[in-house]
Amino acid sequence: MDKIEVVEAACPQCSPEEEVMHTVVKSHLLKCNNCGFIHRLPSKKRKAIKLKVIVSRQDVSSVQEIEVNEDEELHVGDEFVVDVGEEVSGVRVQSLELKTGGRAESAKAGDVRAVWARAIDEVVVKIAVQRREKTESVDYKVNGDYEFTVGDILKVKGHEVRVSAIKVRDGGLYKREGKSARAKDIRRIYSKVLSSERRPAGEGLRASRKKDGKGSEDT
């Protein structure tokens, strides 16, 4: 004799708000034990929750919020948009702080106390400019999706420099000619001076080949 399986579920005919006993007729098909109505297994309602997002932009942090389903899986490296009033920021998840304490690489939203993130819509890229035995560090504001390439010729503070290496945030170091990385993924750019010239007032850093998303030096 086959085993009869029973479950609790809302019945759209006699009990739409409260769960009552049902007999499983077949996969995803139920029969209400109260009224005999046969219907599909109701889909589970997804509960939306608000999560605190701590957004870091250079040396300044702000607290914002996002609304997600509590069973949504979050991961370090996820990118999304947060907004408060007129402020909108593209961010990347750096860490997930759990309600139980500690941090995780991935977790369901309902288990997360706070999301720690870094703004990536506009970032500051640090460029090390080497001239003979001296090295100078220059901060450069640029769109997070702007690409730098090993071998690029740039103008920095009146110097024409060549990108010799790009250090990315996951720990890698690109040295091969033509290897590229987006600004939001870069920890530091290394360059060597090819020639120097007087810099006209207001001239910033620019690449020798035209690209979108160009920015400017931080002064």
Residues in the chain with pLDDT < 70?
1-2, 43-45, 84-87, 197-219
> What pLDDT is recorded for position 211?
45
> What pLDDT is recorded for position 203?
46
> What pLDDT is recorded for position 201?
47
| Domains of the chain, residue spans | 6-40, 48-119, 122-217
> What pLDDT is recorded for position 104?
94
> What pLDDT is recorded for position 198?
55
> What pLDDT is recorded for position 5?
87
Q: What is the pTM of this model?
A: 0.59
> What pLDDT is recorded for position 209?
45
Q: Sign of dihedral through CA atoms 56, 73, 80, 48?
A: negative
At 1 the three-state DSSP class reads coil
Class of domain 122-217: mainly beta
